[in-house]
A and B are shown apart, each in its own frame.
Chain A
Amino acid sequence: MVRRRMNQIIIYLLVAIVLIIVLFPIYWMVTLSFKPPLEYISRTPSLFPIKPTLSHYTSLWEHKFIRYLLNTTIISLSATIISLITGFLAAYALVRFKFPAKFDRFFLLWVLVVKMVPPITIAISLYVILRATGLINTRLGLIAVYQVYTLPYCIWMLLGFVRDVPMEVEEAAAIDGASRLRILRSIVLPLVAPGLVATAIFSVIISWNEFIYALLFLRTPSVFTLPIHIATYITEYEVLWGELMGIGLLSSLPILIFSGYVQKHLLRSFAMGLK
């Protein structure tokens, strides 16, 4: 009995240590965003803001936070919608049909290879393409380039979801004379809908947090996304932490809300190499 008690105490102690390690940096970000500069530029920092202030948040508006938020939203949603539609069609074709000369296997293999390719290694070519098409330094260009991340991801995720749709339902509809497109639209699509939502959320998170391509292909602040805005802040202002943490916190909130919702799909997406 005593031993069991001891075990319980040890477990909770370990859990507490884990929680402190995980949560402290996040807590520190929140605290710094409410501290006046005199409190965070100090050799004896306090655990709580002594005189909490909202001044960093109000000055965010002057720094056009909304513009970066809007850019990020437009880019990540558009990239996701494109990948979701094309990826769903591709996944359906690959699961339900036979292609000649094992073309489907090769295609999937290539998609998997793409997930492994370091983004910087094809950046030079993408830069040349974007320059040639006049899409460099535009949101549209970044949306196009983000397909490198989101499309392979969507195809692999949706492959699993489409496989789960029972064949019999589709066959019954085909016997009743429904066209392929009709079957796809009114039978497969509703059944895959939950999978589409989960896939979409992950795809949005990937593009929301993406850094390298945004850094390389966007040059003027008017088209910047949040990660680039944060990076500029880090490198230009050494210790303007209050505003920086405010930006960080606000730009993380949408992701955190969504991530709670798709947790059970997390493992499935790892196998496909989300990170």
Chain B
Amino acid sequence: MKRFVSRAILFHERYFHFIILLPSLIIIIILTLYPLINVLYLSFYHYSYITGTKYYVGLANFIRIFNDRYFLKGLENTLNFSIFATFFELLAGFGLALLFNIRFRGKKYLLPVVILPMMLSTMVICATWRAMYHYEYGIINYIFRYLGIGDGVKWLMDRNIAMWSVIMVDIWQLTPFAFLIILAGLQSIPDELHEAARVDGAGAAQVFRHITLPLLKPHILMVVLLRTIDTLKIFDKVYALTGGGPGTATVTMSYYIYREGFTYFNLGRASAASVIMFVVVAIVSSLYIGYVIRGQARG
């Protein structure tokens, strides 16, 4: 009996790390690995949840999607959103970081205020911006009219402007994200480096171009990759601000999948669209993951 107990303990001690990793492993497999494989499998089927029909259709879903103007528009909108939101967030975040890298009084108390938008729920933010964007009663159009710039803009109803209005909200909410990363980068540059360059007779612009910018490259890269990956997923702002409209002006990839899968219950076609979206995001993500792994290997 005694021997049995000690053996049990030995087993426990020996496989301790497997045992404690197991719960996470099981959760991750059930909730991510299996669903991804299942989505790939379903993408080759016609599968309607409403009629309950399910049969193999080969590549038909994919062919159908690539001829679907709604999807192609969604792909185009997603890429536009991603590129412009990322670009302006980086730009604004960079400017903000340069400002906060200067010494001024009260900075310590302002930092938490500046990152406030990032902590708020996207739905709360969308509710507020919807009120501000409102054509008749919104404060933005009121200011426009007050200043005599036209009779107001249909921020969310004009097909040429709606996407920019959504991008604007994303910039407002997530510029702090770019700001914090760039600021950390700026603060990691030793002051002596700048001073040395100054002593050698370099002007402010030269110091910025030849010293600050090259040293910030990893931080800029990180902002660009993380923001690109995140903006490619855009769904909640579109859902709450425009509902994909007007027309197809703000339809995105995520929104297309939502519509196919959860309003029409065309699970096969929605799965095929999911696979396409996964591939698009995976291309950008692999750059980021490669970058993280190299970073881990270095230190």
Contacts and interface: CB of A to CB of B under 8 A. Distances in A.
B154 interface: no
Given A89-B20, A117-B32, A270 B180 contact: yes
Interface stretch (B61-69, B191-199, B205-213, B227-235): B227-235
A26 B121 contact: no
Nearest to B43: A124
B177 to A, nearest CB: 6
A34 interface: no
Nearest to A118: B233
Interface of A: 8, 11-12, 14-15, 18-19, 21-23, 25-26, 28-29, 32, 40-45, 85-87, 89-90, 92-94, 96-97, 99, 107, 109-114, 116-129, 144-145, 147-148, 151-152, 155, 179-181, 184, 205, 208-209, 211-212, 215-216, 226-227, 230-231, 233-235, 239, 241, 244-245, 248-249, 251-252, 255-256, 259-260, 263, 266-267, 270-271, 273, 275
A211 B17 contact: no
A145 B119 contact: no
Contact of A125 (B34, B114, B285): B34
Nearest to A227: B123
A231 B240 contact: yes
B262 interface: yes
Contacts of A244: 127, 131
B50 interface: no
A263 B33 CA distance: 33
Given A8-B104, A26-B116, A245-B131, A147 B184 contact: no
B91 interface: no
Candidate in B110, B127, B258, B293 with the most chain A CB atoms within 10 angstroms:
B127
A251 B126 CA distance: 14
Given A28-B131, A230-B123, A43 B281 contact: no
Interface of B: 9, 12-13, 16-18, 20-21, 23-25, 27-28, 30-36, 38-39, 42, 96, 99, 102, 104, 110-132, 134, 136-137, 139, 142, 172, 174, 177, 180-181, 184, 222, 226, 229-230, 232-233, 235-236, 239-240, 243, 254, 257-258, 261-262, 267, 270-271, 274-275, 277-278, 281-282, 285, 288-289, 292-293
A67 B233 CA distance: 30
Contacts of B13: 179-180
8 contacts: A15-B110, A23-B116, A122-B36, A184-B20, A230-B127, A270-B177, A270-B180, A273-B229
A256 B282 CA distance: 33
A245 B35 CA distance: 37
Given A112-B292, A120-B277, A151-B28, A255 B125 contact: no
Given A32-B131, A94-B21, A244-B127, A117 B39 contact: no
Contacts of A215: 239
B142 A45 contact: yes
B96 A18 contact: yes
A243 to B, nearest CB: 10
A124 B130 CA distance: 29
Given A15-B110, A18-B99, A111-B28, 14 more contacts: A22-B113, A25-B128, A25-B129, A29-B124, A43-B136, A90-B25, A109-B289, A113-B285, A114-B32, A121-B257, A122-B39, A151-B24, A209-B123, A270-B177
A215 B261 CA distance: 13
Contacts of A123: 257, 261-262, 274
A155 B24 contact: yes
B20 A252 contact: no
Given A116-B288, A118-B254, A270 B124 contact: no
